[in-house]
Amino acid sequence: MTDSPLDPKSEASAGLMQYSPENLVPFGPVHPSLKEPEYFKLYLEGEKIVQVVPRIGYVHRGIERAAQDRTWVQNIYLFERICGICSFAHSMAYTQTAERLTAFEVPRRARYIRLIIAELERIHSHLLWLGLVGYWTGFDTLFMWVWKDREHILDLFETITGNRVHKSFITISGVRNDLPENIIEPLKKEMKYLTGRVDYYSDLVSTEETLVARTRGVGRIDQDVARRLCPVGPLLRCTGIARDIRKEDPYAAYDELVPDVKTSNQGDIASLLLLRLEEIRESCRLVTDAIEKIPAGNVKLAVPRVIPAGDSVGHIEAPRGELFYFVRSAGGMKPERVKIRTCTMANILTATEMLKGHTLADVPVVLTGMDPCFGCMDRIAVVDVAKGKEWSVRGEELRLHGINWYKPGRQT
C-alpha cells in the first residue's frame, strides 16, 4: 500500500475520488454514503463549480441481461423501450446490427421507410429538447409552442406506425408495414410547415435576450475536449468536428440520400440551439426527398427465426449521437449477448467538463444542453468544498434559482 491516490487501498483514495482530466484530485472528507441516490454531485468553491461527479444507475433496469432471455424479434420491443424519445433509433440500431450477421438484403423500399421514420424521430427529439430548454430557462411560451409543433410529428407517427411513442415499426429484414396510402402530400406539407417554424425559432433563440444571456458562452467546449472525452452527436459537432454516422457509415437509405452535416465552432449552448434547429431543417429536407424518391417494392422478407452465429458491431446516428450495438449470436433463437452504448453515456464526461467554472444557476441549461436521455435533473447534491458542507437540491429548485439569477436588472 502506498500513499498514492491511485492505490485503491491507500488513505488518500478513501472517501470520494474525483476524476479530473488533468489530474486525479481526491476530495475528502466527504462521506460517500448518502441517504438518497444523487445523480450529480457538484463541488463548489465559492460560487463556481470545480468538480462534478455523476452517479447514474437510476434507470438501470437490467436490459442487457433481459435481452438474453428474449427472441430476436421480441428484443426489438425491449430495446425500443430503453428510451421513449429515441425509441426507433434503438430498435433500428439493434436490427441493423443483427441483420449484419445474415446474408439477406433489406429491400430498398424498407430502407427508405426506415430513413423517413428515423428522420421524423430526429425532428421530434430536437423539438422536444428545444421545448425543454424553454422550460428550464423559464421561457414557458417557447416550451408550449414547440411542443405544440411537435404534436404534428406525433400525429404522423400515429398515422404511419400506429403509436405516438413506441412505434415497433421495424422488424428483422425490413419494416413491419408499408406506408399508408395518401401519405405523401400530408408528409410534404408538414415538412414545409416545420421548416417555416425552424426559421422562426432560429430567429427567436438568437435574439431573445434572456435566452441569449443564459446560453452564449455557457458550457463552452473545444476540439481538445472532444478528442479526449469522445462525445457524440451535436455535442461533438458544435466544436467544429464534422462527424455524423449517417455520412461516415451510411445505413438505411443514407447512401442514396446523403445528409449535409451541420457544425458550429462556438462550442457553447447557444450554438447547440442553432445547430439542432439546423438539423431539424436538414431532416425535413431528407424526409421530403425520401418520400418523393421512394421506390416501389416489398417492405420485408420472410426470414428464418435464427440469426447465424457470429459477432457484429453496428452504430447509427440517433438524435443525440452515435448509438452503438454489439451483438453476439450463437446461432440460436435468442442472442447470446447484446451490448448497448447509448449516446448519453458517451456524453456524460463532456457534460461534467462543461459545468466546470459555472455557477449553480447555469446547471439546468448546461445539463439540458447535452440533451440527456435520463431525468438527471431530479436531484442534485451540492458540496461546498471550503465549508465542507453538503446539501441536496431538487432540479425544480435549481430551475427557479436559475430563472431568478438571470432576471433582467439583477447583478450577476
Partner 1 sequence: MGLLSWSRKKSPWIFHVNAASCNGCDIELVASLTPRFDVERLGVQLVPSPRHADVLVVTGTANALMRERLKTIYEQMPEPKYVVAVGACALGGGVYQECYNVTNGIDKVIPVDLYIPGCPPRPEAIMYGILKLLGIAPEKELEPALEEEIVGAGASK
Partner 2 sequence: MEPERVSRLTTALEATATQQRNSTLLAVKPERIIEACKMVVEDREFYHLTTITAIDEGQVISLFYHFWRGTEFLTVKTAVPKSDPRLQSVTEALPAALFYEAEIADLLGVVFVGSPMTGRKLLLPDNYPTDAPPPLRKESNPAQIRKMMGLD
Tell me whether residue 63 or residue 261 sits nearer to partner 1 (CB atom).
Answer: 63
> Out of partner 2, partner 1, none, which partner does residue 328 contact, by CB within 5 to 8 A per kind?
partner 2
Does position 348 interact with partner 2 (CB under 8 A)? The reply is yes
Residue 262 φ/ψ region, left for φ over 0, alpha for ψ in the -120 to 50 degree band, beta for the rest: beta
- Identify the helix (H) or strand (E) that includes residue 194: helix 184-207
Q: How far apart are CA 24 and CA 41, in angstroms?
A: 17
Give the binding site for partner 1 (CB under 8 A): 36-37, 57-63, 65-66, 77-78, 81-85, 87, 128, 143-144, 147-148, 151, 154, 164-166, 373-375, 378-379, 394, 396-397, 400
Sketch the per residue contact string, 295 through 334, with partner 2: x for CB under 8 A, - otherwise. ---------------xxxxxx------x-x-x-x------
Q: What nine digits make up the cell of 209?
A: 435576450
∠ CA 394-397-400, nearest 5°, is: 150
Q: How far apart are CA 396 and CA 121, in angstroms?
A: 28
> Out of partner 1, partner 2, none, which partner does residue 276 contact, by CB within 5 to 8 A per kind?
none
∠ CA 263-243-171, nearest 5°, is: 115
> Out of partner 2, partner 1, none, which partner does residue 151 contact, by CB within 5 to 8 A per kind?
partner 1
Sketch the per residue contact string, 378 through 397, with partner 2: x for CB under 8 A, - otherwise. --------------------
> Out of partner 2, partner 1, none, which partner does residue 401 contact, by CB within 5 to 8 A per kind?
none
Q: What nine digits make up the cell of 164?
A: 405516438
∠ CA 358-85-305, nearest 5°, is: 135
> Out of partner 2, partner 1, none, which partner does residue 166 contact, by CB within 5 to 8 A per kind?
partner 1
> Out of partner 2, partner 1, none, which partner does residue 199 contact, by CB within 5 to 8 A per kind?
none
Name the residue with cell 418520400.
291
User: To the nearest whole angstrom, how small is the minimum distance from the Cβ of residue 148 to partner 2?
Assistant: 36
- 19: β partners: 24
Residue 93 near residue 114, CB atoms below 8 Å = no
User: To the nearest whole angstrom, how small is the minimum distance from the Cβ of residue 102 to partner 1?
Assistant: 25
Residues 6+ apart with CB under 8 A from 209: 408
Tell me whether residue 120 or residue 172 sits nearer to partner 2 (CB atom).
Answer: 172
Q: Which amino acid is at 324?
A: F
User: To the nearest whole angstrom, how small is the minimum distance from the Cβ of residue 371 to partner 1?
Assistant: 12
Does position 16 interact with partner 2 (CB under 8 A)? The reply is yes
Does position 64 interact with partner 2 (CB under 8 A)? The reply is yes
Name the residue with cell 444523487.
38
> How many C-beta atoms surround the C-beta of residue 371 within 10 A?
27
Does position 105 interact with partner 2 (CB under 8 A)? The reply is no
Tell me whether residue 135 or residue 254 sits nearer to partner 1 (CB atom).
Answer: 135
- Identify the helix (H) or strand (E) that includes residue 269: helix 269-293
Q: How far apart are CA 75 and CA 94, in angstroms?
A: 9
Task: Say if strands 310-318 and 389-394 run parallel, antiparallel, or are unpaired.
Answer: unpaired
Which is it for the CA torsion 288, 293, 298, 301, positive or negative? Answer: negative
User: To the nearest whole angstrom, how small is the minimum distance from the Cβ of residue 207 to partner 1?
Assistant: 23
**Subset of 65-84 contacting partner 2 (CB under 8 A):** 65-66
Does position 99 interact with partner 2 (CB under 8 A)? The reply is no
DSSP calls for 34-61? -SS--SEEEEEETTEEEEEEE---TT--
The one among 249, 378, 384, 390 contacting partner 2 by CB under 8 A: 249
> Out of partner 1, partner 2, none, which partner does residue 27 contact, by CB within 5 to 8 A per kind?
none
Main-chain phi, psi angles of 16, to 5 degrees: -100, 120
Tell me whether residue 155 or residue 224 sits nearer to partner 2 (CB atom).
Answer: 224
User: To the nearest whole angstrom, how small is the minimum distance from the Cβ of residue 228 to partner 2?
Assistant: 5
> Out of partner 1, partner 2, none, which partner does residue 188 contact, by CB within 5 to 8 A per kind?
none
Does position 46 interact with partner 2 (CB under 8 A)? The reply is no
Does position 152 interact with partner 2 (CB under 8 A)? The reply is no
DSSP calls for 88-117? HHHHHHHHHHHHTTSS----HHHHHHHHHH
**Where on the chain is the footprint of partner 2 (CB under 8 A)?**
6, 8, 13, 16-19, 21, 24, 32-33, 37, 55-57, 60, 62, 64-66, 100, 227-230, 243, 248-249, 310-315, 322, 324, 326, 328, 337, 339, 341, 345-346, 348-349
